[in-house]
Amino acid sequence: MEDQQPRPPAHRFGGELTRREVVAAAGAVPLAAMLPTAAAAQSHLAGRTGHNEATVTVRTVINGTPRHLELDPRASLLDVLREQLALTGAKKGCDHGQCGACTVHIDGRRVVSCLTPAVQTDGAEVTTIEGIAPDDQLHPMQQAFIDHDALQCGYCTPGQIMAAIACVQEGHATSREQIREYMSGNICRCGAYVGIVAAIEDAAPKMRRA
C-alpha cells in the first residue's frame, strides 16, 4: 500500500554505499579478501560505523553440517549464508521481507532469511536450496519446476522452490486457489506464476509418495 509510493532518491540511506558500489570498490582485490565476514560484506553495514563491540557465538546445523559461527549480531542469515558460507542459492531480492527470494527453512518451517538475524539460528537447523536433495539428484519440486517451465530468469526460483516445498508440507497445496494464496509471499517479476502453480500441483502428490 503505502510502500508503493514513489520512493525518495537513492541517496536516502545517508552515507551508505550500495552493494554495487561495495563490489565495484573491491575491484581487483582477490576474491578471498572480498568475502572476509558477513558483516563487512553486507551492504547496509558497509558505510556505517565499524564492527560491533562483541561477536556472538552461534551453533547451528546448516544442510546437515554442524557450524560454529562467530557473528556480528547485525548480520542477517541471508548474508551469512551467501557471504560467509558460500551458499549462494538463497538470493537477495529486496532485503526487506517483501519478495521471498531468500526463503529458507528453519527447523522445517519456511522463513525469509533476510529478516532473520543470524544470531537467532542458534540451536536451529537451517535448510537451503543446496540441502534439499543429494548432490546427484533433484528434489521432486525442482524437477517439476523444470517440467513446467516455471521460471524465466531464475532469480526468484530458489526461494520459490523452498516456499513451494514448505507449502506442500504444510498441507497448503490442495487446490490452485490455495497454492496461489500460500505462495503469495514469493514474487516473480518475469511472471512465471502459471508454471509455478502447475509445478506445485504436479510435485505435491510426488512429495507425499516419496
Footprint of other proteins (CB under 8 A): 1-9, 12-14, 44-45, 48-54, 56, 73-74, 76, 95-97, 100, 103, 109-112, 115-117, 119-120, 122, 163, 166-167, 170, 172, 180-182, 184-186
Report helix angle 193-209 to 157-169, nearest 10.
50
Closest CA to 38 of 118, 157, 96, 115: 118
**Smallest distance from the beta carbon of 98 to other proteins, in angstroms?**
9
**Smallest distance from the beta carbon of 136 to other proteins, in angstroms?**
29
Residue 136 corresponds to which cell in the numbers above? 546427484
- The residue (of 26 and 115) whose beta carbon lies closer to other proteins is 115
Indicate the SS3 state at residue 174.
coil
Query: Hunting for cell 551508505 — which residue is that?
Result: 16
Query: Hunting for cell 532469511 — which residue is that?
Result: 113
Angle at 129 between CA 133 and CA 69, to 5 degrees: 110
**Smallest distance from the beta carbon of 74 to other proteins, in angstroms?**
5
- The residue (of 28 and 160) whose beta carbon lies closer to other proteins is 160
- The residue (of 51 and 208) whose beta carbon lies closer to other proteins is 51
**Smallest distance from the beta carbon of 152 to other proteins, in angstroms?**
21
- The residue (of 10 and 29) whose beta carbon lies closer to other proteins is 10
- The residue (of 57 and 137) whose beta carbon lies closer to other proteins is 57
> CA Rg, the chain, in Å?
18
CB 98 within 8 A of CB 58: no
